[in-house]
Chains A and B, each alone.
Chain A
Amino acid sequence: MSISQPIPTHDHTQIELGFLRKYIFSEDHKMIGIQFLFSGMIFLFLGGALALLVRLQIGWPYGNLPMVGNWFPASWGGKMSPEFYTMIFSMHATIMIFFVIIPWLTGAFGNFLIPLQIGARDMAFPKLNMLSYWVMWPSFILMLISFFVAGGAAGSGWTAYPTLSSAAMPDGMTGSPASPNSGTGQVLWLISLLFAGVSSMMGSVNYITTIINMRCPGMTLMRMPMTIWAMFVTAILQAMALPVLTVAIILQLLDKTIGTTFFLPPAGMAFGNWHTGPGGGQPLLWQHLFWFYSHPAVYIMILPAMGMVSDIISTFARKPLFGYRPMVYAIAGIAGLGFIVWGHHMFQSGMDPRLGTGFMIATIMIALPSAVKTFNWLGTIWQGNIQYTSAMLNALAFVSMFVIGGLSGIFMAATPVDVYIHDTYFIVAHIHYVLFMSTIFGIYAGVYYWYPKMFGRMMSETLGKIHFALTFLSANATFYPMHIIGVGGHPRRYFDITIYDTFQHLQPLNAFMTVAAIILGFVQFIFVANFFWSLFFGKKANRNPWHSNSLEWAAPSPPPHGNFEGNVPSVYRGPYEYGHPETQEDYLPQFEPNGPKDTPGGSH
């Protein structure tokens, strides 16, 4: 049953806000969503540049880097130093995960779409929503400052495993004996992620409350678009998993600053002749706490994309989503299983093998809901009337990349195989197929699809298709060979593999991947150009340019403050009524009554 909307007493149509209130400290969910979108885009390019530097080093190890070499300090001799390398691969992952993907999916799309798609005028807590964006800024700034402190930004991997990350000099000495960039940089990294976590938590409680309480008349749970279901489940995941990460971060912060020993082993550690003194903790404890958040986080980084893609595929296939209820159950299933599989990151950590068996069966079961989702997407386009817009192409690319990423995940679930490929480039290939290629194609699909609603103009389809084709090719050329060098035994996070004779024959492949990655990076400028050109010169969009069914298309493009003119709409049916027999058109929106039996909140 839906709960009715509080009737707005003030007039929403025209409230003139100053520039600062409208664009900067805005409480409007649409503007906050767009802010998340823009800051994510900035960090996408920073994270991407770091990735290219990593690839340059692997492609031409320790070589004199053309052009780039001139930016390095003279003392490095135009070559990359190992400390710099460890710093950039750590920061690449950190920035992409915490500053790009999570804020884009939940911050940008969650904020923009939730109220519009459930027929609410705004989020349940608009001020909290504004705060959730502005708390990201201390996080951004601290992370950027950390590049310039002594030792550089954090260099212990995005996983920050103690004792490498947590070993700290006592007696007020700065730095860390373990690695030069796990000193001050690591402290800033921890504080920065604390802020990012607070932001995510504010967002997720807001989303949960809004979706439960603010649905418009007739919007029952089983009439919600998949995007909303995905955002809802994601928000629950975040709300439950984040406190654990927050605790872990605080514990590591205490270890590093006031000398507690949560992650320091009882015997202490010896670095040459220097001894840390005894601790009382367990390095493995961090891994359990970290992955208890970060495994669900992997689903936080893909479920919203799955939801958006479901909506987009249904719209452009002009077909109802195949198996709506199984799709909802599959999302819930992935999320539920997501909480009991964190140990599969630790099969080789020395944990008890009996525990490993439990994680193995739980992990392998994730194949089922994932299969259900994939086949239902295929069922949706079957017998459709498919319209190949840029959004649809990206959505279909999402499906195919998710198939590859999902199937390569089974290798890790089968523990003995994981024994071999763990910590090799196979893992790097897998995570990038799931989190880079699936999610980014999902995000691009979402941008192309909802851009008219966000900015009231259409993006260029020609540029969109060129961008799609080049991204698809170069991304696969970058990441697919990583599977091959991974099963060849190529370990990840190696600064220089040419010192091993064993890997000499992989070097041409590595160089090839680097070239593909550089192309991939530059191709993204087509997207940026399209995005900003269309902002000013794109064709004006009408209310419902894609002839879609869900509620956001009832609002003007772009929607005014308060979203809907007059009363909030009422909902009469599910969001996927394409080819409905009672109408001439090939679609029947949720918000349009069709005959006398359609009363708001009626049967569904």
Chain B
Amino acid sequence: MGSAIMLWPEQASTIASQIDTLFWFVTAVGLIFSLIIGATLVGLAIQYRRQSETFVPTPVHGSTILELAWSIIPLGLVMVMFFWGLFIYVDYNRAPENAMEVYVTGKQWMWHLQHVGGQREINTLHIPTGRPVRLIMTSEDVIHDFYVPAFRVKMDVVPGKYSYLWFEATKPGTYDLFCAAYCGTEHSRMIGKIVVMEPSEFDRWLTQSADRSLALQGRQLFQKLQCITCHHPEANNRAPILEGLYGKRVQLEDGTTVLADEAYIRESILYPKKKIRAGWKPIMPTYDQQVTQDELIRVIAYLKGLKQGETPPLVQQSDAPAVKDEK
């Protein structure tokens, strides 16, 4: 339907056609109502124009039946829009379990994109068709917004927190990526591209541009930043072991529990004293300003996949190759 109208960007994601259908429904309702009201207004304006100075119109003060009619009919229509919209909105916010994760960092005025496999991109994101992609996004400076018109998706990228967005591309091709939230002088030049490839082609691309996986880089950081000195079974119970932490609920000192998600792990690295785990002393130093947003993402990617018994031995620490600083 999209290509029928020259101005409309093509549909290239699974949600695009759903959003467009709702859009056309709202448009149809809007057009019908504006035509009815417009025609009535013009019709009445012509029919009842002043024809004589002495004519006195019959005073009509209102009509309960009409008031009810023009409240209930729009109510029905907007309820249809609400539930229809809700249906899509739930879908839009719930990424499938098997989604491929990509980490996004926005900064003035570029996009950093990191794949789980460790491939890093700037301003271009390669993704396959037919596979849901979930973005985990944050900003280094001001609020940006990840906007892909052809996918009909848009989400703010906010400093200090993670926001999430998912989509599944349907058509290979190259699509525009815009920053939709005004982010300063060069806002309109925050240009990006989404390159959608056939799955087989994408796999080839992944292998070609593979560096060490994001988790592996995170593992090296985990050692380099000395996390391992305490978060280790041989460290005299100074800090909890982080194996299998991700996705569990963690018991805190004050009796509450918190879900160990990306946001929690990030906060615990930057501000360890904010949420103290029950049974542990608040001795961890802050890593605020010692790690970049991109490095944080790598450590988080490592911890997300860290399974029982996989904490590396302490001796490796000095052998770990220094992580290349990309700045």
Interface residues of A (CB under 8 A from B): 82-83, 86, 155-157, 161, 163-164, 167, 177-180, 182, 265-271, 273, 275, 277-279, 282-284, 317-320, 322-326, 348-350, 353, 356-357, 360-361, 364-365, 367-368, 371-372, 374-376, 378-379, 381-388, 396, 399-400, 403-404, 407-408, 410-411, 413-417, 419-420, 422-424, 484-485, 487-489, 491-497, 499-500, 502, 505-506, 576-581, 586
Contacts and interface: CB of A to CB of B under 8 A. Distances in A.
B74 interface: yes
A386 B185 contact: no
A83 B6 CA distance: 33
Contact of A404 (B34, B179, B182, B184): B34
B222 interface: no
B158 to A, nearest CB: 5
A462 to B, nearest CB: 18
A505 B141 contact: no
A403 B160 CA distance: 41
Nearest to A404: B34
B66 A385 contact: no
B188 A497 contact: yes
B163 A270 contact: no
Nearest to A377: B41
Contacts of A157: 182
Contact of A271 (B6, B45, B141): B141
B49 interface: yes
Interface stretch (B87-95, B223-231, B301-309): B87-95
B152 A381 contact: no
Nearest to A90: B182
B41 A265 contact: no
A121 to B, nearest CB: 31
Given A420-B152, A579-B57, A586-B56, A357 B30 contact: no
Contacts of B178: 489, 491
Interface in B145-161: 145, 147, 149, 152-161
Given A178-B184, A376-B67, 12 more contacts: A86-B182, A284-B158, A350-B164, A385-B57, A386-B50, A396-B45, A420-B23, A488-B7, A496-B188, A499-B188, A502-B176, A579-B57
B34 A385 contact: no
A326 B67 contact: yes
Nearest to B292: A270
Contacts of A320: 59-61
Interface residues of B, number: 95
B215 interface: no
B7 A367 contact: no
Contacts of A419: 19, 92, 152-154
B89 A416 contact: yes
B187 to A, nearest CB: 6
A484 B189 CA distance: 23
Contacts of A375: 66, 70
Contacts of A415: 85-86, 88-89
B255 interface: no
B108 A271 contact: yes
B271 interface: yes
A411 B82 CA distance: 11
Contacts of A500: 176, 191
**6 cross-chain pairs, A with B, having the tightest CB-CB distances, nearest first:** A265-B160, A350-B163, A489-B149, A494-B188, A323-B62, A179-B184
19 contacts: A265-B158, A278-B270, A322-B62, A323-B67, A348-B145, A349-B158, A372-B67, A378-B40, A381-B45, A383-B57, A403-B33, A414-B85, A417-B26, A420-B154, A423-B180, A488-B7, A489-B176, A496-B189, A499-B189
Contact of A265 (B29, B149, B161, B327): B161
A365 B78 contact: yes
B275 to A, nearest CB: 12
**Most B Cβ at <10 Å: residue of A267, A326, A379, A502:** A267
Given A283-B158, A360-B82, A368-B71, A417 B57 contact: no
B176 A423 contact: no
A468 to B, nearest CB: 14
Q: By CB atoms of chain A within 10 A, which of B34, B143, B155, B188 has the most? A: B188
Contacts of B56: 318, 385, 579, 586
B23 A580 contact: no
Nearest to A349: B156
A506 B44 contact: no
B7 A506 contact: yes
Given A322-B61, A385-B57, A416-B89, A502 B9 contact: yes
Contact of A386 (B49, B84, B93): B49
Contacts of A279: 160
A319 B27 CA distance: 34
Given A319-B60, A372-B71, A417-B23, A505 B44 contact: no
Contact of B57 (A156, A348, A384, A496): A384
A268 B187 contact: no
A414 B71 contact: no
Q: Output the residue of B59, B62, B160, B186 with the most chain A CB within 10 A.
A: B160
B208 interface: no
Residue of A180, A279, A376 with most partner-chain B CB within 10 A: A376
B51 A385 contact: yes
A378 B185 contact: no
B186 A82 contact: yes
Nearest to A409: B30
A320 B84 CA distance: 40
Nearest to A489: B149
B99 interface: no
Among B18, B37, B140, B149, which residue has the most Cβ atoms of chain A within 10 A? B37
A388 B49 contact: yes
A247 to B, nearest CB: 21
A411 B26 contact: yes
Nearest to B186: A82
Nearest to B44: A381
Contacts of B181: 161, 423
A379 B63 contact: yes
A164 B183 CA distance: 6
B48 A382 contact: yes
B177 to A, nearest CB: 11
A422 B156 CA distance: 11
A488 B8 contact: yes
Contacts of A376: 62, 67
A360 B187 contact: no
A278 B287 CA distance: 11
A284 B158 CA distance: 8
A416 B22 contact: yes
A306 to B, nearest CB: 16
A462 B135 CA distance: 60
B48 A381 contact: yes
B50 to A, nearest CB: 5
A513 B88 CA distance: 34
A182 B158 CA distance: 18
B234 to A, nearest CB: 31
